[in-house]
A and B are shown apart, each in its own frame.
Chain A
Amino acid sequence: MEIIIQQLLNAAQLGAVYSLIALGYTMVYGVLRLINFAHGDIFMVGAFIGFMLATTLNMPLVLMMPLTMLLTALVGVAIERVAYRKLRDAQRVSLVITALGVGIFLENFVRIVVGPQTRQLPAQLPDSVLKFGSGLIITEDKIWIILISLALMIILWLFVQKTLMGTAMRAVADNSEVIPLMGINLNRVIAVTFAIGSALAAAGGVFYGQAYSIDPYMGIDLGWKAFIAAVIGGIGSIEGAVLGSFMLAGVEVFTVAYLSSNLKNGIAFGLLILLLLIWPSGIMGKPLLKKV
């Protein structure tokens, strides 16, 4: 029983990180209909910005995390401005390939600047060990990671549902052709979307660096996983992204715990394909309508 609770917490921690990345995928997909293949690498860049701030400037977490989020948001907005904006009306596949190129660029850039080694962010979250009842042991940082992530998700949800800009985002996601005619600045909405998505990914990167370790190529693997989570939940849907992330993390953690760590990816992807065959547009996604 204690082991199961511990594994559930592990899954929740991993799910929180996946969610923070998956939200960026799903939001960008909502407004641009683009699978932003560079998003996993933005997550990695966020982790490394956090690493630099924490190690070279010795910043405490309360300062480091908002600053990392801000800087990564700028990176995301810059990428959209330089590489994606011109291709917005082009064939979608050109945009996807450009995103792939941007991703490879970011990986190699970090690799050259920081080096290919695996690193660890200095542990800055309170990490005292809590003991409950008969042998249930929980490290405090796990709780913090889950709680802060959930708080960020709730803030995002409130932003999207309650503010004017959030309404504009939902409107653009609904119809990006008519909405600019209503006086909504499409460029600004898209820039804000990239900024928020990148900032959340950066938060995920900092947490991931606290819990696990970071290297320049981690964005590929984690990015794909988070993307799959977004697809399982129904890409374009915020609630779906969170749901899919926790589901995927649960499957992975319990596969590693009870079957074999070698089967992790195979089972995760098998589940993805199975779910897509049952719900072709994800659990919470809107079905794709084709008009003649």
Chain B
Amino acid sequence: MSSSKNKHSQALLAKLAAASSSWGIRSVAFLVCIALLQIAGDFDLINQYYLHILTIIGMNIILVASLNLVNGYLGEFALGHAGFMAVGAYAAAVIATKVGPPGAMTFVLALIGATLAAALIGYLIGLITFKTVGDYLAIVTLGFNMIIVNAIQNMDYLGGPRGFGGIPKTTSLIIVALCLVITYTILRNLVFSGHGRRWISIRENVIAAELMGINIYKAKNMAFTIAAAFAGLAGGLWAQYQQFITPKSFDYIKTTDLLVMLYLGGTGSLSGSILGVVFYMILMEILRNVLAMIDPRLAELRMLISPLILVIVMLTRQSGLLGNREWRWLKPRKEDSTDEYSS
């Protein structure tokens, strides 16, 4: 009896291992590499500046990849992502400073709280937002971003326009990497599942999708809520990394930054989100250092070069650097044979 049960669970384990082997191994390998980097940083073998850049890159990838669900896979043009980041950041800040004693438990609780708060707000906003489409949807989401920022500015409990300080610094590179792996595991499983195909079909032809029996409103709202949740997670990480947050830092300028990275990398591809963020952030850092080396006064030129690159990429490669192709290692194995799922 027990041996048959054992056999059964062994078979199950083998199945699980086969299904997740490559992704799981890669994730663990990635985390080990990041952990080694972090340790090297702790022993001053690597400049802390590089680790800082990597941490910011990690948080930005979570933000851009989640924005990609709505703007890439669903094909809408939402302009309010930074608002959900703000919800997450402030939720995490409140939990981290006012709820529990500083520590690992409170940190995890803050991140979960940030994710759930942003998801809830995202769901409620989605209910209204998806009554509209196209340009009007863009404006409504932008409006909600402004309203969230404005509401925080008017709440004394959250520090109002002066900002919220004194948050313990608990986010580190390895934790961002762990969150990134969790995010990508979930997003990858979503976009290659029925949900993802539903979103893509809405993007490609909304009327045809509706005729196939897809509940458009529900599918859109689901993508929006999930995107908001991950933006909240990134906001929670951000608040506990920066230790001080102001409502101003979550306005449409932040949203625009995210859009630039998203469309630079290419929409409708999780690989594109990674490429866009890494390319943009590293390019900006290189430009900053190179220009400052030539002449400190030139450092400002960086701000001219980055929008120029965006315009040039759009003029020459309209679908971004990666189009909507996917790197092979990001795809589930059975997707390998069908390389392109859209024209």
> Which residues of A line the B interface, CB within 8 A?
29, 35, 83, 86-87, 90-91, 93-94, 96-98, 100-105, 108-109, 111-112, 220, 224, 227-228, 231, 235, 260, 262-263, 265-266, 269-270, 272-273, 276-277, 280-281, 288, 290, 292
Per DSSP, chain B at the interface is helix
Q: Which residue of B lies closest to A288 (CB)?
A: B134
CB atoms of B151 and A101 under 8 A apart: no
Least Cβ distance of A93 to chain B in Å? 6
CB atoms of A108 and B307 under 8 A apart: yes
Least Cβ distance of A278 to chain B in Å? 11
CB atoms of B315 and A35 under 8 A apart: no
CB atoms of B263 and A93 under 8 A apart: yes
Q: Which residue of A lies closest to B139 (CB)?
A: A231
Cβ of B243 within 8 Å of any chain A Cβ, yes or no, is: no
CB atoms of A105 and B308 under 8 A apart: yes
Q: Which residue of A lies closest to B303 (CB)?
A: A108
Contact of B146 (CB < 8 Å), options: A90, A262, A266: A266
Per DSSP, chain A at the interface is helix
Q: Which of B120-172 contact A (CB under 8 A)?
A: 128, 131-136, 138-140, 142-144, 146-147, 149-151, 153-154, 161
How long is the Cα–Cα vector from A227 to B185 in the complex, in angstroms? 39
Interface string of B66-110 (1 = CB under 8 A from A): 000000000001000000000000000000000000000000000
Least Cβ distance of A290 to chain B in Å? 7
Cβ of B32 within 8 Å of any chain A Cβ, yes or no, is: no
CB atoms of B304 and A108 under 8 A apart: yes
Q: Which residue of B lies closest to A264 (CB)?
A: B150
CB atoms of A104 and B307 under 8 A apart: yes
How long is the Cα–Cα vector from A111 to B144 in the complex, in angstroms? 29
**B contacts with A, residue count (CB < 8 A):** 43
Cβ of B238 within 8 Å of any chain A Cβ, yes or no, is: no
A-B contact pairs, 26 of them (CB 8 A): A91-B318, A94-B318, A94-B319, A97-B259, A97-B314, A98-B310, A100-B310, A101-B260, A101-B308, A104-B256, A112-B300, A220-B252, A266-B147, A266-B150, A266-B154, A269-B142, A269-B150, A272-B143, A273-B143, A273-B147, A276-B136, A276-B139, A277-B132, A280-B131, A280-B132, A288-B133
How long is the Cα–Cα vector from A101 to B304 in the complex, in angstroms? 10
| A residues less than 8 Å from B283 (CB atoms) | none
Cβ of B36 within 8 Å of any chain A Cβ, yes or no, is: no
Q: Which residue of B lies closest to A228 (CB)?
A: B139
Q: A98-B311, A98-B314, A266-B154 are in contact. Are A273 and B144 (CB under 8 A)?
A: yes
| A residues less than 8 Å from B300 (CB atoms) | 108, 111-112
| A residues less than 8 Å from B307 (CB atoms) | 101-105, 108
> Which residues of B line the A interface, CB within 8 A?
77, 128, 131-136, 138-140, 142-144, 146-147, 149-151, 153-154, 161, 207, 252-253, 256, 259-260, 263, 267, 300-301, 303-304, 306-308, 310-311, 314-315, 318-319
Q: A93-B263, A100-B260, A108-B307 are in contact. Are A270 and B147 (CB under 8 A)?
A: yes
How long is the Cα–Cα vector from A269 to B151 in the complex, in angstroms? 12
| B residues less than 8 Å from A97 (CB atoms) | 259-260, 263, 310, 314
| B residues less than 8 Å from A91 (CB atoms) | 318-319
| B residues less than 8 Å from A103 (CB atoms) | 307
How long is the Cα–Cα vector from A108 to B300 in the complex, in angstroms? 8
Q: A98-B311, A104-B306 are in contact. Are A280 and B154 (CB under 8 A)?
A: no
Q: A93-B77, A112-B300, A266-B146 are in contact. Are A83 and B207 (CB under 8 A)?
A: no
CB atoms of B207 and A292 under 8 A apart: yes
Contact of B128 (CB < 8 Å), options: A227, A260, A273: A273
| B residues less than 8 Å from A265 (CB atoms) | 146-147, 149-150
From A97, A105, A109, A227, name the one whose CB has the most chain B CB atoms within 10 angstroms.
Answer: A97
Q: Which residue of A lies closest to B153 (CB)?
A: A262
CB atoms of B139 and A227 under 8 A apart: yes
Least Cβ distance of A64 to chain B in Å? 27
CB atoms of B128 and A277 under 8 A apart: yes
Q: A83-B311, A97-B263, A231-B136 are in contact. Are A109 and B304 (CB under 8 A)?
A: yes
How long is the Cα–Cα vector from A87 to B256 in the complex, in angstroms? 20
